[in-house]
Amino acid sequence: MIRKATLLLLDVKDSDIRLMNLDQCRQAVDRAIHVGGAFSATIPMVSLFYGGTININVEQPTDLGQDIFVLSKGHAVATLASIYADLGYFDRSVLRHSRSISSVLNGHPGPLLPGVHVATGPMGQGLGVAQGFAIKGDGDPQFDVYAVTGDGELQEGPIWEAVMYSGYKRLENLCVMVDHNAGQLDITNRLHFPYHNLSASFSSFGWRVIEVDATRYHMVYDALVDFKYGVRDGRPTVIICRTTKGHGGFSDYMNKHKTVIGDDVLDMEAEQHERLRTTRVEGFCDFFNAIADDGQLRDDITSKARTMGMEIVWEGENATNVTPIITEVKTQKAATRNKEMSYDQENLPKLKKGVEYAVSQVIRDTISVFASDPRIASIDSDLASTSGLQAGVGSVDQSRALNVGVAEANMMLIGEAFAVLGSNVWISTFCPFYDWKVLRRIAVGHQERLEVINDVGWLSEGHALDYTMIATAADFETQANGATHMGNDDALLLDAAAHVNIINIACPQMLISVMKWVAEGNKGIVYIRTLRAAAAVIYSDETNFDFGKSYSLRNVSSPDAFIVSTCRGVHEALEAANQLASQNYAVEVIDMPTIDSEAILEIYHSDKPVFIAEQNNGYLWSKFQKILFEEESKIETNHLIPINASKDKGSHYIHSGTYKELTTHYKLDANNLAQTIVNHLKK
């Protein structure tokens, strides 16, 4: 009887949410919503949030141990927003004027909206983040994770990276609901690439599959109850919700993707939904009044209705109406997170100046010390041995040292999930293998978190991401593996993504200092470009890394010229400076691991020749140009000499060769650098 009452009440709630969606559209700045996908996702989402299966803490959405929801098909944000406003994550006034520059409710969801953990919209990524949440939820404290995907986004590769890995990890606490509405974008009645046996695809990767008719509530509700309270067998669950695009709308106009809906259609839709709601309420009241002789059951149903945000209205002994409860805002500001890692600095590696060390070993030994803090986690993809992360964290706790094979996008998505939950996350692969589209969306979510924190919103200090990417084999370090693996363009590419802090490592000791800096917490998205082959220690163990600071390595009081470089190029620059010293030329070498605007301006105004030597397509040189154009009214370039891989050929991809061959070919070895400087000074 409780099940029957719940299903009847879900029908009523369905009408309320759809009416809220229509009102959103009426008041949106562009008078539009992604109506087709929002309406087809309504039954799965209303079933989840009001059927009693998901365990959430609306007051404190970031507290650990509660279930987590990810809307992978971000187009359905209207339904999510209506539900979240109804639950009390934020005031209903937020639903007005959506998509405007002043609104926190955009065309796709993100952490600007209270209770939303992940920015979604680019298709195919939300499931991977949900999988990362489920990995964390499989530990202590335990919790379940739910995600709603569209069937159209199942064409995206990262979806199947996550499906494969979830099955392998036996994430029985993960439930994915596929809104299988069989329409895509502006094609309302078919997918561009239809599925012949979607169930078999999931089953083949070790998933438990439940197929339901999602045009009615009872099957979706029962499937969710089965997942939550049934016997689990180690498999993640997918509920394939068969429906149609725009289901629940009366006019076929509601089947579209994103559309402006005129007042005539909105008025007609709202009128018919109000009429349907009245019919549904009457059906519930007839059922409720028929059990008048069972007072306890009526009390239980009344209580159930209140938990679903509805009040049963009485006249005498009979129920006559069901009205929405306008919930006050429940969500409170999250507690501050302490992000500083706790570890024993005495256990950090002790390196000797001038001695060569393999960077992967330095990372392994350093991260193993950090891993004494349970918030440290690592995810590797493609040759974990080149970074040392997995071996280091795994020596302390294998459950926090993951390897996803060669699925780089999935690695990034899992890392984001861990970071959202407060971990200090380290991921690694070859530097050209990071997925720019995934990184850009992660950076969007990070920015939204920062905005909410700075605007005194629902998040507080410590709720931004700590997300560090180790990029192995930067610049010419890849050597003979071919152009696809050569990291000569990655810095320029990723510098275009906002909020990515790029750090170039020239020295194993500096690497330790950088890692210590990251472990302080609240450093955001960090991209560390490292060496692959062993390198000599340049810095003392007393050197502290400061972001935005460069380092003069030779302390020349009156230099004849400057060489500015990064990574392995610093070692070539030092050797060139030594050669020049024997010819009575004093050259200062500046290691610029991060962009130092003050140093760039200072050496520019020295009027001495400045050689910007780098084994890539000109990342440092691009920064020189940017800073000088921003700060100077007139620029003299005669004493600025860029030497990089793109100087003569323009931007291109570097092919195979030994390190010696490559540096010689691009005139970036010590001998060529020295000769170039001598030739310039003699002019």
- Is the same domain home to 516 and 572? no
Radius of gyration from C-alpha coordinates of the chain? 29
User: What pLDDT, in 10s, does the model give residues 90-109?
Assistant: 999 999 999 999 999 999 99
- Is the same domain home to 378 and 443? yes
Residue with the two structure tokens 């008719």 = 213
User: What pLDDT, in 10s, does the model give residues 239-279?
Assistant: 999 999 999 998 888 788 888 889 999 999 999 999 999 99
- Is the same domain home to 123 and 179? yes
Of 213, 247, 262, the position where a domain reaches its end is 262
Task: Provide the residue range defining the domain that includes 584.
Answer: 553-681
Helices (H), ranges, 52-117: 77-87
Percent of the chain having pLDDT more than 70? 100
* DSSP code per residue over 428-456: EEEGGGS-HHHHHHHHHHHHHHHHHHHTT
Q: Note the pLDDT of residue 520.
A: 98
H or E element, residue 212: strand 208-213
- Is the same domain home to 33 and 172? yes
Spatial CA neighbour of 566 closest among 652, 650, 486, 488: 488
In angstroms, rounded to a whole number, what is the distance separating the alpha carbons of residues 529 and 430? 9
As given in the structure block, the two tokens for residue 347 are 């256990």
Q: How many domains does the chain have?
A: 3
Establish if 54 belongs to a structural domain. yes
Contact 116, 459 (CB under 8 A): no
* Side chain identity at residue 144, one-letter code: D
- Is the same domain home to 349 and 423? yes
Torsion from C-alpha of 288, 292, 294, 296, nearest 10 degrees = 70
- Is the same domain home to 64 and 133? yes
Spatial CA neighbour of 165 closest among 121, 209, 129: 129
Establish if 275 belongs to a structural domain. no
Helices (H), ranges, 497-567: 508-519
- Is the same domain home to 192 and 70? yes
Secondary structure letter of residue 487 according to DSSP: B
Establish if 327 belongs to a structural domain. no
- Is the same domain home to 450 and 506? yes
Establish if 290 belongs to a structural domain. no
Which of left, alpha, beta for 146 (phi over 0: left; psi -120 to 50: alpha)?
A: beta
Establish if 364 belongs to a structural domain. yes
Q: Note the pLDDT of residue 84.
A: 98
Establish if 270 belongs to a structural domain. no
Q: Note the pLDDT of residue 649.
A: 78
User: What pLDDT, in 10s, does the model give residues 454-507?
Assistant: 998 999 999 999 999 999 989 999 888 889 999 999 999 999 999 999 999 999
DSSP 3-state of 368: helix
Q: Note the pLDDT of residue 195.
A: 87
- Is the same domain home to 531 and 600? no
Establish if 298 belongs to a structural domain. no
- Is the same domain home to 523 and 615? no
The CATH number assigned to the domain holding 97 equals: 3.40.50.970
H or E element, residue 611: strand 610-613
Q: Note the pLDDT of residue 453.
A: 97
User: What pLDDT, in 10s, does the model give residues 171-193?
Assistant: 999 999 999 999 887 777 778 78
In angstroms, rounded to a whole number, what is the distance separating the alpha carbons of residues 151 and 517? 43
Spatial CA neighbour of 322 closest among 49, 91, 50: 50
Contact 624, 598 (CB under 8 A): no
Of 488, 509, 536, the position where a domain reaches its end is 536
Q: Note the pLDDT of residue 193.
A: 81
Q: Which residues pair with 246 in a beta bridge?
A: none
Q: Note the pLDDT of residue 36.
A: 87
Q: Note the pLDDT of residue 518.
A: 98
Calculate the average pLDDT of the chain.
95
What is the rounded average pLDDT of the residues 515-528? 98
The CATH number assigned to the domain holding 578 equals: 3.40.50.920
Establish if 22 belongs to a structural domain. no
Question: Who's near 602: CB < 8 A, 6+ residues apart?
Answer: none
pLDDT over 80 (residue 553): yes
In angstroms, rounded to a whole number, what is the distance separating the alpha carbons of residues 186 and 297? 47
Asked if the peptide bond before residue 141 counts as cis, ω within 30 degrees of 0, the response is: yes
- Higher model confidence: residue 134 or residue 651? 134
What is the rounded average pLDDT of the residues 536-564? 96
Residue with the two structure tokens 């490592």 = 505
User: What pLDDT, in 10s, does the model give residues 629-666?
Assistant: 999 999 999 999 999 999 777 888 998 999 999 999 99
Contact 681, 585 (CB under 8 A): yes
Of 220, 244, 262, the position where a domain reaches its end is 262
- Is the same domain home to 254 and 180? yes
- Is the same domain home to 42 and 80? yes
DSSP 3-state of 420: helix
